[in-house]
A and B are shown apart, each in its own frame.
Chain A
């Protein structure tokens, strides 16, 4: 079902137009990474302040509260570019083990937010005055940094997985309609057999092969 949804997504007009555009994917990827840099700065400043590492001269609430909106805008930009990139080659992403790890890590970021937002990020005023932030604030910041670094690692890993040869329904769909029901089984086989062996050292540019 998820695979069918991925194939449907990559075949809608906008995604097809982006995929068939000259340098569309590369440009979106560069925008995605540029936005990550901006978003990362906001995350870093917030978490480093909670860890009491930088910028030390300012109150925790100054940093956390004032960077909240820019951080959300940055995340929206990163997510928008990421969604368009996913939509262009949704089937390949769906079959990619690193993409699945990345999605799992995003889930953990959501759990992190649910756990620590009410206890730390929304109660930064409570952290003022103490010489060093409490353990829960440090744990929240360290976990946040770890999760986002993991997401960067998984994101980069996506480029190192060969797309399975059958994962081009956007090509096949134009020629002959391939039954989707069998592709799910093939996909499961490929995911376990191919992905463990296909890590390669070619500047991570599998996307340039298409």
Chain B
């Protein structure tokens, strides 16, 4: 028996999922960026990067989980289109690298409250990767074809 994907069966499901996808990413990327800006000395907070990351860690993870779950739902609406879309593939590559970086090198730098050149470089790479995730996501709708 064929079961219709709810995301394709009801007109409103896709836009609702998209809103949660965007909101989830906004929260996750936003709080990560706040920590990165703190490392770079651009946000004048008294809290150290580790204190800021600790107090916002739940929201970063929560936002990321919402974004990933809703993103997977969006992907199932038309897997062929996404799978062959260059922008989507770049977004996924950047997302994986950004997540791995965030929970490895980035975490180490944050916990050490680093403000050295190396720490700032990691913060810049983190910002660039998350920015690329957003750009990749936006351009999915504007790029026809790919592979």
Chain A residues packing against B (C-beta within 8 Å):
23, 26, 29-30, 33-34, 36-42, 44-45, 48, 54-58, 62, 66-67, 69-70, 149, 152-153, 156-157, 159-160, 199-201, 203-205, 207-208
Contacts and interface: CB of A to CB of B under 8 A. Distances in A.
Contacts of B134: 30, 33-34, 37
Contact of B15 (A40, A41, A157): A157
Interface of B: 8, 11-12, 14-15, 18-19, 22-23, 25-27, 29-31, 33-34, 37, 42-47, 51-52, 54-56, 58-59, 77-78, 81, 130-131, 134-135, 137-142, 144
B15 A160 contact: yes
Contacts, number: 121
Contact of B51 (A26, A29, A57, A157): A57
Given A36-B26, A41-B31, A45-B34, A204 B52 contact: no
Main secondary structure of the interface of B (DSSP, over half): helix
A126 B130 CA distance: 37
A58 B55 contact: yes
A37 B137 CA distance: 13
Contact of B19 (A30, A153, A199): A153
A203 B19 contact: no
B22 A33 contact: yes
**Secondary structure at chain A's binding surface: helix, strand, loop or mixed?**
helix
B124 to A, nearest CB: 14
Interface centre among B12, B44, B55, B131 (most CB of A within 10 A): B55
